Chain A
């Protein structure tokens, strides 16, 4: 998994609770990404980071926030989880340089009841 660890691997939570997913990388990559994957929608970008404290929104960012206080950690927070946020969440890393080969973590299966 290209030195990427996601935690937790599985989580079940209740509607309205805050949830934080963690992505940890050991390869000192500058760029990190959070995608969600749902049937029929493929992978959709939630947020990404291009450095410590530098983040930007993706196409489905509503209801999510992120933080990156260290190069190796990128956190995704669901402020108040809803059932529509039940999904598989993937963290990815890449190196800039004209193309964007992404390498993915193992994913987090999140169920919001």
Chain B
């Protein structure tokens, strides 16, 4: 079982719709959770982070965390073609190795 799992997609949504991206993790002691956006041929860019159960909103983005279910999601409201990218979920647990563990990403396509 992978430590961080994401559906590879592609997830296709029409412009203006809500895109929902999901991620599950296996380490129940995970402490911090991150979403990165990666355009084709570019480096990952941090767009959201969340530490506590519940929702965190930033503009069109909402991160949701449910530690009991070991589930984190990213909602993108009013999706735009410019949101088309791969979205990487990452988790952190301080085991002495201070590094993030990444999922393999979900490719999002927003259709005009």
A35 to B88, CA, bound (A): 14
Judge if B44 is at the interface, Cβ distance under 8 Å. yes
Nearest residue (CB) in A for B34 is: A101
**Are A40 and B98 CB-contacts (below 8 A) given A100-B92, A104-B44, A105-B43?**
no
What is the minimal beta-carbon distance from A106 to any residue of chain B, in angstroms? 5
Judge if A74 is at the interface, Cβ distance under 8 Å. no
B20-73 interface with A by 8 A CB criterion: 31-32, 34, 42-46, 49, 51
Judge if A50 is at the interface, Cβ distance under 8 Å. yes
Nearest residue (CB) in B for A94 is: B98
Residues of B within 8 A of A41 (CB): 104
What is the minimal beta-carbon distance from A46 to any residue of chain B, in angstroms? 10
Judge if B99 is at the interface, Cβ distance under 8 Å. yes
A8-63 interface with B by 8 A CB criterion: 31, 33, 35, 40-45, 48, 50, 56, 58
- How many residues in B have their beta carbons less than 8 Å from beta carbons of A? 24
Residues of B within 8 A of A94 (CB): 98
**Are A90 and B98 CB-contacts (below 8 A) given A42-B104, A100-B32, A101-B34?**
no
Judge if A102 is at the interface, Cβ distance under 8 Å. yes
Residues of B within 8 A of A48 (CB): 97-99
Nearest residue (CB) in B for A90 is: B43
Pick 18 A–B contacts, CB within 8 A, sort by A. Answer: A1-B43, A42-B4, A42-B103, A42-B105, A43-B102, A44-B102, A48-B98, A58-B97, A90-B43, A94-B98, A96-B98, A98-B32, A100-B98, A102-B46, A102-B100, A103-B46, A104-B44, A104-B45
Q: Which residues of A contact B (CB under 8 A)?
A: 1, 31, 33, 35, 40-45, 48, 50, 56, 58, 90, 94, 96, 98-107
